Amino acid sequence: MILLHLPALQVVVPLMAAPACVLLRHGRIAWALALVVTWTAFAVALALLLQVIDSGPISYAMGGWAPPWGIEYRVDTLAAFILVIVTSIGALVVPFARASVEREVASDRIYLFYTMYLLCLSGLLGITITGDAFNLFVFLEISSLSSYVLISLGRDRRALTAAFRYLILGTIGATFYIIGVGMIYMVTGTLNIADLASKLPAMADSRTVHMALAFLTVGISLKLALFPLHLWLPNAYAFAPTAVTVFLAATATKVAVYVMIRIVYTVFGGPAIFEQMPIDEMLMGLGMLSMIGASLVAIFQDNVKRLLAYSSLSQIGYMVLGLSLANVSGLAGGIVHIFNHAMMKAALFMAVGCIFYRVGSVHIDALAGLGRRMPLTMAGFVIGGLSLIGAPLTVGFVSKWYLIQGALERGLWPVALVILASGLLALIYVWRIVEVAYFRPSPDGATEIREAPLSMLIPLGVLCVACIYFGIDATATMDLATAAAVELIGSHP
Amino acid sequence: MSPEIAMPLAVAVPLVGVALILLARNRPNLREAMTMVTAFSLFAVVLSIFPAVIAGERPTIVLFEMFPGLRFALSAEPLGTTFAGIASLLWIVTSIYSIGYMRGHHEQNQTRFYAFFAVALATTMGVAFSDNMLTLFTFYEALTLCTFPLVTHAGTDEARRAGRVYLGILLGTSIGLQLLAVVATWLIAGTLDFTDGGILAGKASDGVIAVLLALYIFGIGKAALMPFHRWLPAAMVAPTPVSALLHAVAVVKAGVFTVLKVTVYIFGIDLLATTGASTWLAYMAAATILIASLVAMTKDNLKARLAYSTISQLSYIVLGAMMATGAGVVGGAMHIAMHAFGKITLFFCAGAILVASHKTEISQMQGLGRRMPFTFAAFFLGALSIIGLPPMGGSWSKFELVLAAADTGHLVFVAVLMISSLLNIAYLIPVAIRGFLPAPAEAGGNPGGNHEPDGGGISEAPAFCVVPLCFTALGCIVLFFYADWLYAFLRPITGAITGAITGG
């Protein structure tokens, strides 16, 4: 019985737990509740994934109202994969957050942190699982509003301006999205994604549909911080509490990429629409600009959190590029990079969180000598960094391999070269940090600095193991990503 | 022990050794004992693979699937088994030498040194036994990364800068060029397995083949083909045992080994010979041979001179491969072995001189040979082998390469090899001769100080240093007499070869 309602539980459990945290008004108890809830959500997501692998896509009618009238929750391979990514990060961040948040957030607001965290999580899960374009907007707002609050919890007052800027731009993005949805509702009379998918191809040459796609693309590009709509991201990541940065970097932009894939491939009917509207070429160009431009900027950052934020921008470029390649290898590469990047970037930001916990700064100079003082944290950082570079035996290599393959299959040699060049730029900015940590002697008076507490190191360790494990044996993740890509594109070329 | 088990074991044994070294980190003697035990075990494991390969078998083991359709697999064929045999044998020698050198030179962080050294050997074994290009590429990159802490061992600013060059060039070429070539090969051929006769024949146009080959040859930065050679002199900042084993044997040979593997098993000699895609690269290699030799002559620092000599010698092997004949490939493969013994001897000598007299510049070494007769005698023997004079192993591989050059009709290459030998004489022999000349009178300075008795008495480096270098110097002579065995062992990689015969 309960198995039948897993899609609803996936969203409802964290959504209900969030107000409970407010009522509890106690940091530690809220933390314990969040821990239980996020791990439950993770278990639910795993169960859904197994179910989807076993017996194909699940359709769940919310409240018993049959689609397209009622709201449908729909879990296909891609959605199930994203659910697992979001919940696994969500579950790993909570144990990490206990110490980290106590260090970085005012103690009377800690229960608010967990409230917003659970709300944000349920919003992201809702976006992923829903089969209704308007319902998606609602969850988009839930996750966005709660993430503005999460960012503004940062102790640095600049967190407030960063949150405010994100609020303005995020709202513009959401507005563009809802305008786009309004337009397709106008021509099709439906909001159900499956229904839209069946009706839109017949109207693909309508000007309204083109406008709708344009609005949707711009709106979602803002949410996923595609160049040149990325301006909100670096400061938001840099000044938010580290636990928030870990969570948002690993999930929020990824879910936005998911929405982009969903809109372009499922709603508007995959590669066929590109003949009408060449957004694949635009996305490819912008994706490559992100990959190169953001990496170049990252090289010159002195705040390690900002540096990693720019690196995130460049990695989002990889995903958008994969989406724009419009063949199975490329799209699968983009999808698997959602997973891979979630693992590596969460590991990197957690390492930064460990450093801040002990050193109290994330300026690159503060890292001097940490190779000796915090060997495990820095080892985690190196593993995450190698994944960013795309060294073999790390997850980054897998995504890069498939993206290059996707580019070469289409005969796009220059694109393959851009992918490789971006990896080499990553080498420069990662190694800058490694050199400071391992070659520069620690400053005087830093003798007290020691390894971060275990509650922070264990989640970091788990992510590092994931970075290596899924880099060595990528069959599981690649099978899923390829299956999802085949479902989206239609058939294997 | 079946060879299928022995191959993964060869990768695993040094990694187990790492654990043992780390466990014994507080007891230096036990720690070094662990290194020795590991090195001997590794050699035994590698030896156990030889009989099957001699019998003509190609044992293969699939470890796991890395991506759907792409397996992580190991296999043993003559080329890789030779490489693994040399590297594991010389690791034993180098480990003994390291004990003398690292203690004699009072190096810091010795546990880290021994641990990463063992990791480097594990990845070298992986390179040697890779069954496909993906596996090889993986180990190749791992080898770059795990040698980085060894290169930058000193932790100084100079080491940091050298580390940048090292990593920048090696990862830049492999990620920027080689990876592209590997993915393209996978798309074109539908496989990455090393196959006799290559996997690309008839699957791509001549133009694509030429581009791919260039991507591979320049992408294999470890082969130090100009203009991607700068990392090797930079790596000389490492402790001498690292320069000796890794930058004369394991790392650089992993590069040229990969070049040979790609030539023989990815492209196939016939394909290269018919398309002519490799001819201009052979000229690049020839140019590298000469230019690097000329640069070597200008270097007064002994290790820098040896580094440029290595660049030049590596291009012998690249040249052998790019001439696209069986004799060239076998000659190149033999040169891997011959040069390994010769060059490691020279590096051991350089390290021994540093430990015993703290001298690094050749101009300061006048008269040193009288105090360090064994070291300088070994240097002389090693130099002869590099030059390619009998009765040294190096003469056979060079002979084979010259035959191959004559076969292809490119007499330029014959001339290049001959001129290179003369240049080798010009930059290596003076070092040995200088050592045996009378020491110069103390130049002006040292007024009234106690004059050290030159020539009187012998003050060699510790025995841990001297014995290994004598061993490898004798190895050069032994190889001269067993070259025919090596030749027969390697010959199957090119199928039947006509014409060239060496040894008895």
What are the boundaries of each domain within chain B?
1-269, 278-440+456-504
Residue B449 gets the label, from left (phi > 0), alpha (psi -120 to 50) or beta, of beta
Number of neighbouring beta carbons within 10 Å of residue A235: 21
Interchain CB contact of B145 with A (< 8 Å): yes
Query: What burial class does residue A157 get, using C-beta atoms within 10 Å of its C-beta: 0-12 exposed, 13-18 middle, 19+ buried?
Result: exposed
Residue A437 and residue A370 in contact, taking contact as beta carbons nearer than 8 Å: yes
CA distance B459 to B359: 14
Out of A405, A424, A473, closest to residue B175 by CB: A424
Amino acid, res. B246: L
The radius of gyration of chain A's CA atoms, rounded to the nearest angstrom, is: 21
* B141 contact residues in A (CB cutoff 8 A): 391-393
What is residue B63's DSSP assignment?
Answer: E
pLDDT tops 80 at residue B454? no
Best of B25, B67, B160, B208 to mutate (most A CBs within 10 Å, chain A): B67
The radius of gyration of chain B's CA atoms, rounded to the nearest angstrom, is: 22
Out of B152, B160, B184, closest to residue A408 by CB: B184
Say which residues have a Cβ less than 8 Å from residue A352's Cβ, sequence separation at least 6: A242, A245, A304, A305, A308, A362, A381
pLDDT of residue A462: 93
Contact A420 B183 (CB under 8 A): no
Q: Of the given ranges (A146-150, A216-220, B327-331), which has the lowest mean pLDDT? A: B327-331
Interchain CB contact of A392 with B (< 8 Å): yes
State mean pLDDT over A204-226: 90
CA distance A394 to A340: 9
Contact B138 A420 (CB under 8 A): no
pLDDT band at A350 (very low <50, low <70, confident <90, very high): very high
CA distance B189 to B213: 14
Q: State the DSSP string of B420-488.
A: HHHHHHHHHHHHHHHHHSPPPPP-S-STTPPPP-SSSS--PPPHHHHHHHHHHHHHHHHHHHHHHHHHH
Biggest CA–CA distance in chain B, Å, is 79
pLDDT of residue B137: 92
What is residue B67's DSSP assignment?
Answer: E
Interchain CB contact of A112 with B (< 8 Å): no
* B184 contact residues in A (CB cutoff 8 A): 408
* A401 contact residues in B (CB cutoff 8 A): 67, 179, 183
What is residue B267's DSSP assignment?
Answer: I
Residue A35 and residue A459 in contact, taking contact as beta carbons nearer than 8 Å: no
CA distance A492 to A327: 8
How far is C-alpha B480 from the geometric centre of its chain's CA atoms? Answer: 18
State mean pLDDT over B239-257: 85
Query: Minimal Cα–Cα distance from B172 to chain A, Å?
Result: 6
State mean pLDDT over B389-396: 83
Query: Minimal Cα–Cα distance from B194 to chain A, Å?
Result: 19
State the Cα angle at B335 between B330 and B339, rounded to 5°. Answer: 170
pLDDT tops 90 at residue A255? yes
pLDDT band at A445 (very low <50, low <70, confident <90, very high): low
What is residue B397's DSSP assignment?
Answer: H
State mean pLDDT over A319-330: 90
SS (H, E, C) A230-273: CCCHHHHHHHCCHHHHHHHHHHHHHHHHHHHHHHHHHHCCHHHH
Residue A302 and residue A233 in contact, taking contact as beta carbons nearer than 8 Å: no
User: Domain spans of chain A?
Assistant: 285-493
pLDDT band at A168 (very low <50, low <70, confident <90, very high): very high
Residue A301 and residue A237 in contact, taking contact as beta carbons nearer than 8 Å: no
Q: What is the mean pLDDT of chain A?
A: 89
pLDDT of residue B457: 62
State mean pLDDT over A43-60: 90
pLDDT tops 70 at residue A492? no
Query: Minimal Cα–Cα distance from A344 to chain B, Å?
Result: 18
Residue A305 and residue A381 in contact, taking contact as beta carbons nearer than 8 Å: no
CA distance B155 to B146: 15
Say which residues have a Cβ less than 8 Å from residue A207's Cβ, sequence separation at least 6: none
Q: Which residue of B has its CA nearest to A483?
A: B68
pLDDT of residue A446: 61
Residue A157 gets the label, from left (phi > 0), alpha (psi -120 to 50) or beta, of alpha
Out of A392, A398, A427, closest to residue B142 by CB: A392
Interchain CB contact of A389 with B (< 8 Å): yes
CA distance A144 to A253: 11
Query: What burial class does residue A35 get, using C-beta atoms within 10 Å of its C-beta: 0-12 exposed, 13-18 middle, 19+ buried?
Result: middle
**DSSP H/E element including B60:** strand B60-67
- The 10s digit of each residue's pLDDT in A105-132 is 888 888 888 999 999 999 999 999 998 9
Interchain CB contact of A393 with B (< 8 Å): yes
Best of B25, B119, B133, B183 to mutate (most A CBs within 10 Å, chain A): B183
pLDDT of residue A171: 93
Rounded to two decimals, the ipTM of the complex is 0.87
Contact A420 B72 (CB under 8 A): no
Task: Copy the structure tokens of residue B155.
Answer: 């932790």
Interchain CB contact of A391 with B (< 8 Å): yes
- The 10s digit of each residue's pLDDT in B103-134 is 777 777 888 888 888 899 999 999 999 998 99
State mean pLDDT over B37-58: 87
How many helices (H) does chain B have, and how many strands (E)? 21, 2
Q: Which residue of A has its CA nearest to B139?
A: A392
Residue B205 gets the label, from left (phi > 0), alpha (psi -120 to 50) or beta, of beta
**DSSP H/E element including A475:** helix A475-489
pLDDT of residue B480: 86
CA distance A118 to A35: 10
- The 10s digit of each residue's pLDDT in B267-295 is 888 888 888 888 888 889 999 999 999 99
CA distance B102 to B45: 27
**DSSP H/E element including B490:** helix B463-490
CA distance B316 to B336: 10
pLDDT tops 90 at residue A326? no
pLDDT of residue A26: 83
Q: How many CA atoms lie within 13 A of A388 on its CB side?
A: 34
- The 10s digit of each residue's pLDDT in A405-421 is 999 988 888 999 999 99
What is residue A425's DSSP assignment?
Answer: H
pTM to 2 decimal places: 0.89
Interchain CB contact of A328 with B (< 8 Å): no
Interchain CB contact of B155 with A (< 8 Å): yes
pLDDT band at B440 (very low <50, low <70, confident <90, very high): low
pLDDT band at A1 (very low <50, low <70, confident <90, very high): low
Q: Which residue has the tokens 């969030």?
A: A18
Residue A316 and residue A253 in contact, taking contact as beta carbons nearer than 8 Å: yes
Task: Copy the structure tokens of residue B406.
Answer: 């004559």
CA distance A159 to A147: 12
A439 to A18, A368, B50: CA distances (angstroms): 45, 8, 43
Q: Of the given ranges (A83-97, A448-462, B118-132), which has the lowest mean pLDDT? A: A448-462
pLDDT tops 50 at residue B444? no
pLDDT of residue B77: 87
State mean pLDDT over B371-377: 83
Q: Of the given ranges (A256-270, B83-97, B189-203), which has the lowest mean pLDDT? A: B189-203
**What percentage of chain A reaches a pLDDT higher than 70?**
98
Interchain CB contact of A415 with B (< 8 Å): no
* B175 contact residues in A (CB cutoff 8 A): 389-390, 420, 423-424, 427
pLDDT of residue B504: 33
Query: What burial class does residue B307 get, using C-beta atoms within 10 Å of its C-beta: 0-12 exposed, 13-18 middle, 19+ buried?
Result: buried
Q: Of the given ranges (B225-234, B422-431, B462-471), which has the lowest mean pLDDT? A: B462-471
